[in-house]
Amino acid sequence: MKTPDLTQTQQWLSTVLMVRGDLSQKLNTAAAPHGVTLHDCVKSSKKLGAMRRVDIYAAGYVMRLVECLKGEFALLCQFMGEEVFETFAKAFIVTLPSESWTLHQLGSRFADFLAQTKPSGDFDPHQQAMFSLPCELAKLERAKALALLKPGPETQQSTTAISEIELLCGIAEDFVMSVPGSVQLIQTDYPLLPLITQLEQAEPYTIPAPAQTHIAVSRQQYRIKMCVLNDWQADLLLHLREKPLRYQEAVSYSASRLNLNLQALQSQLAVWLPSAINMGLFTLQNEPVPH
């Protein structure tokens, strides 16, 4: 066969690196589309044959990606144990190979992979938690990574400082509320934050009881913040992420959508909003609503 062109060489190497099987099986799979063989693409040397050179490269490539996943999902690795984590990470890499040129996207589907591969059956609560928590932790750690990558409140105009009393007095009725792109909201089947704290401090951890939980992950001055939200807080955050609203419009929207008392909700939001702004969940600015 003539020397393979660049596209054929890239396809061949990508297949060798990413498909399942031992090296011989990988090479057979890679040769199928265009008849490209090992010796068409890789030269032997006096010290190393072509087969050994590719084997070393392929193993190193996968382990490099495993190390990247360990960095993004450090607490999950700690929870699962390094050996078990590596087993799942390698399976993920060859099952759902990344199609992005940036390593920032490598772990984007890891939580889904763990959810799809967890055992199903009639388990006691402890067993069910041990099977379910890895994908829940992966979901949270991915949210933390995105909170650092996305544009945050630091890139916007300074947020208007306002107090609970000022909010209750109606000073901010025409101020615009919005949600920075860095804010991530996830729903989990377990309350994860106590477990996260225990893992971060390398303490013996307690398996949480199942409970549907809204967790907001935000960034303030490039530091990650996490908190649990109730239903109306989560609903408001989701809506404002899609469309900024004036403060009074936001209150009216939530009260109407969730069938809540308007004045009671106004009081609750006035109490919560200053701390939520300090966590980077919202920006509040005295300017026209963007179109």
- At which residue do the structure tokens 């308007």 appear? 262
Asked if residue 41 belongs to a domain, the reply is: no
Asked if residue 215 belongs to a domain, the reply is: yes
Residue 24 in this model has a pLDDT that exceeds 90: no
Give the model's confidence band at 286: pLDDT under 50 very low, under 70 low, under 90 confident, else very high.
confident
pLDDT in tens, 234-260: 999 999 999 999 999 999 999 999 899
> ∠ CA(233), CA(277), CA(73), 5° rounding?
75
Mean pLDDT of 12-39: 84
Asked if residue 63 belongs to a domain, the reply is: no
Question: What is the average pLDDT value for the chain, to the nearest integer?
Answer: 90
Q: What is the pTM of this model?
A: 0.86
Mean pLDDT of 162-186: 88
Asked if residue 158 belongs to a domain, the reply is: yes
- Residue 275, exposed/middle/buried by CB under 10 A (0-12, 13-18, 19+)? exposed
Asked if residue 234 belongs to a domain, the reply is: yes
Range of the domain at 183: 150-286
Asked if residue 209 belongs to a domain, the reply is: yes
Residue 32 to residue 27: CA distance in whole angstroms: 9
Residue 109 to residue 113: CA distance in whole angstroms: 6
**CATH number of the domain where residue 176 is located:** 3.90.930.50
Q: What's the number of domains the chain is made of?
A: 1
